[in-house]
Amino acid sequence: MRVNKILLVSMCAVLFPSIVQAASLPAVKVEKISDRVYALLGPIGLPDKHNQGYMVNSTLIIGDKGLIVVDTGFTDKIGHHLARTIKTISTKPVTHIINTHHHGDHTLGNIAFPGAEVISSAKCREALDTTALEWIGIVENLTGMKFPNTHPVLANKTYPADSRNDITLQGVKLQLWLPHHSHTAGDLMVYLPNEKVLLSGDIVVHDETPQFRDANVKSWLGTLAAIQQADFNKIIPGHGPLMNKTQFTQYHAMLDKFYQGVEAGYKQGLTDSEVRKSLDLSEWQKLHNYDEFMGGNINRAYLEVEQANF
């Protein structure tokens, strides 16, 4: 009997590889915010063979006749994984996708929602168009898998940088907040005024080290200061658990203290490696991906300070 079960599993893997692989993706953690809004929380961590690149948060917004999905995952398989979860919440069609920035873990699942209008900042669209192949290479290298059906689907509706746009989609009031260059040059946040919920993309992450790869850190701090003044009760971050206002205040303070420490070290004549030794990073060391990101973050902030003082 055991041999027959093994043969059955093996045959399924050969005949239906996409089903077997999709079943092995980590489950989507669904948290209901309101009757209209559901957070679809992914695991914390970097892409690897176990999570198959699924390590991002998405949001489902239920409209009058259709659904809005904010951020769609790293691959077509992750996009379909999210789509299956969404169908357990609502049978309405996905009519709109909003991408918070161009990084592949937030955008490359767009392909799983054919026919949906894709919305992003103009700079996000431009950056995804030029970097999509790089992002596909990153997820394939880190997971050891191939994703031949993953291709970028670019926005067909864009908004300019440094703007706030009040719109209504499917009967839902949204504000699309495009701050000045923060986590990336093309960030877009979604504010839901009726729920007092902010969908931050990677401008805010929780229980995880933010990544400065494409950031302007000083401008990012300005965006965080503006968020601090906003009327919200909850943030759905780009990665990690939901965040309340007190937790956001702590996050803001950590980033501000970090940047001030790098700037002070530079003005004392320290090199970037010497600055690292001078910083109190005890709170950062508790966060996921500290070892992977912190060295690059210090270097990025140091170069930014150096340029500002040149």
Confidence (pLDDT) at 196: 98
Q: φ, ψ for residue 155 (rounded to 5)?
A: -65, 140
Q: No. of H helices and E strands in the chain? A: 9, 13
- Per-residue pLDDT, 3: 38
At 41, the amino acid letter reads L
Across the strands, what pairs with 98? 70, 119
Q: Among the CATH numbers 3.40.640.10, 3.60.15.10, 3.40.228.10, 2.40.50.100, which is that of 25-254?
A: 3.60.15.10
Sequence ranges of the domains in the chain:
25-254
Alpha carbon distance 205, 122 (integer Å): 23
In the chain, which residues have pLDDT < 50? Answer: 1-23
pLDDT of residue 310: 81
- Check: CB of residue 227 under 8 Å from CB of residue 204: yes
pLDDT of amino acid 24: 86
The token pair that represents 231 in the structure block? 């009327």
What letter would DSSP give residue 154?
-
- Predicted local distance difference test score (pLDDT) of residue 23: 47
Q: What percent of the chain has pLDDT over 70?
A: 93
Residue 131's pLDDT is what? 98
